[in-house]
Chain A
Amino acid sequence: MSGPAVKAEDVHKRFGRLDVLNGISLEVQPGQVVCLVGPSGSGKTTFLRCINHLERIDAGRLWVDGELVGYRDDGDKLHELRESDVARKRAQIGMVFQRFNLFPHMTALGNVIEAPLRVKKQPREQAVQRATALLERVGLGDKLGAYPAQLSGGMQQRVAIARALAMDPKLILFDEPTSALDPELVGEVLDTMRGLAADGMTMVVVTHEMGFAREVGDVLVFMDDGVVVESGPPRELIANPRHERTKAFLSKVL
């Protein structure tokens, strides 16, 4: 992989009359862990959803791995891609949600093998083998047959991470992965993510866990009102924020 894993240039997004993103520009290099922080309503989650085209951007350009997201560039005109092409690209980007969004009618194993079977058309045996290994890796080797309702929040989120990994993504997006968890369950999920980061996975993480951002993040991006206010190495940014808004935010969360 050469060039940035994700590159955003002046990305805009509005919902009706509400401007959510007002020109986001940033780059994520392969292997980096980028943490997005900021007050609620600052557009972090929306930006994350734009990266795999769950939301359509209204202006600007967004590339993943050198390819435009959701559009085809024909000289000076943009054409929205066909659904199957969008789906094919999404398959290369993992996503982990705040509320897990596991499929409740499938077991943990069923959740993890679903996409490899249906999207990658892997043979069942191979998919099961890989899924079992992944679930063991996130510490749930004994919960293969459990339904999501029978698992704790932390376990569910770890299944969700295994589900994302099963597609061998080049990039994983995390949307506040620990916000819906009880405090004592946060650690197990962060540990799993720490392991991924150590393995060199490219990750974009929307989070409120400043400790995690400081320790694991390569870049910390502070967003407010749909723009990137400032970004830099986490330790530096947390120790010496330059902008008033960053200072105000950090004083509240630290």
Chain B
Amino acid sequence: MLMGIALGVGLAVMRLSPNPLVAGSSALYIWFFRGTPVLVQLLFWNFISALYPEISIGIPFGPDVISGDANELITPFAAAILGLGLNQGAYQAEIVRAGVLSVDEGQTDAAQALGMTRLQTMRRIVLPQALRVIIPPTGNEVISMLKTSALVSVIAYPELLYSAQLIYAVNFKQIPLLLVVCIWYLVVTTILSIGQYYIERRFGRSSASAPPPTPMQRIRRGLAIRHARIPDVPGASGDRR
């Protein structure tokens, strides 16, 4: 997911570049990775060793930095990360692009009038403001990614679903185990949603003069009011609304 987000930001900035070559290559990437099923991409990365038995990263026509047998290098885990990350990058790019487009053009004008370069403007002025628009759909994507990780079971990487399958293949308790899987997914998505709430609060700071109270603060305040309530005051309950 982190890889997806980083890739997404890079791709979005590229796509909005005035340079047609840069924007075009980003558009091509998004077109390809968004246009093919993630399941196919996962299987592709898993079986990449059939195409390139040996993989090396290095300076072209120079010495290799890393090289090795593709079967060892692309483990099911690496294939899962590559497949999900590269695919996520394409979606995230569009989310970031939407966020960037939502920022008032006057902001770019002002930053450029001050002599800031395009990259400085992006990093210091536009992206921080775009975050407010980017975060909610990104939260969506994080959760959806968590569930998409169940797809990884097809390349025999023991994530949650595949582990459960392994167990019920032995003890035949399919339904109970699938329920356990659901509960675990719910637990993790709940934690992620709470995280998202606090992140949004932090970045919403400058728009409102005071941020709304968190649920915890509200509960505490509610308790305090209950303690302070004086019984038998006429109209007390009516005035409260």
Contact = CB atoms under 8 A, between A and B. Distances in A.
A54 B115 contact: no
Interface in A135-151: 147-150
B3 interface: no
A216 interface: no
Q: Which of A90, A101, A102, A164 has the most CB of B within 10 A?
A: A101
B109 A83 contact: no
B2 interface: no
Closest 4 CB pairs of A and B: A91-B115, A101-B110, A95-B113, A115-B114
A84 B117 CA distance: 6
B113 A93 contact: yes
Given A54-B109, A97-B106, A103-B125, A119 B206 contact: no
B209 A149 contact: yes
A90 B207 contact: no
Binding site secondary structure of chain B: helix
A88 interface: yes
Contacts of B124: 114, 118
30 contacts: A87-B117, A90-B112, A90-B113, A90-B115, A91-B114, A92-B115, A93-B113, A95-B110, A95-B114, A97-B110, A101-B104, A101-B109, A103-B107, A103-B110, A104-B129, A104-B207, A105-B128, A106-B206, A115-B114, A115-B116, A119-B115, A119-B120, A148-B206, A149-B206, A149-B207, A160-B110, A163-B114, A164-B113, A164-B114, A167-B115
B206 A104 contact: yes
Interface in A113-172: 114-115, 118-119, 147-150, 160, 163-164, 167
Nearest to B105: A101
Interface of B: 104, 106-107, 109-118, 120, 124-125, 128-129, 205-209
B113 A147 contact: no
Give chain A's interface residue range (CB within 8 Å of chain B): 35 or more
Contact of A147 (B112, B117, B206): B206
Contacts of A217: none
A173 B116 CA distance: 17
Contacts of B207: 104, 149
B106 A99 contact: yes
B109 A105 contact: no
| A interface secondary structure, majority | mixed
B120 A118 contact: yes
Nearest to B132: A105
A209 to B, nearest CB: 21
Nearest to A150: B209
A118 B116 contact: yes
A178 interface: no
Contacts of A163: 114
A74 B3 CA distance: 46
A94 interface: yes
A52 interface: yes
A52 B111 CA distance: 12
Contact of B109 (A89, A91, A97, A119): A97
* Most interface-central of A54, A89, A105, A119 (chain B CB within 10 A): A105
A54 to B, nearest CB: 6
Contacts of A99: 106
Given A101-B104, A103-B107, A164-B113, 15 more contacts: A52-B113, A54-B112, A87-B112, A87-B116, A87-B117, A88-B115, A90-B113, A101-B109, A104-B129, A105-B129, A114-B114, A114-B124, A147-B206, A150-B209, A163-B114
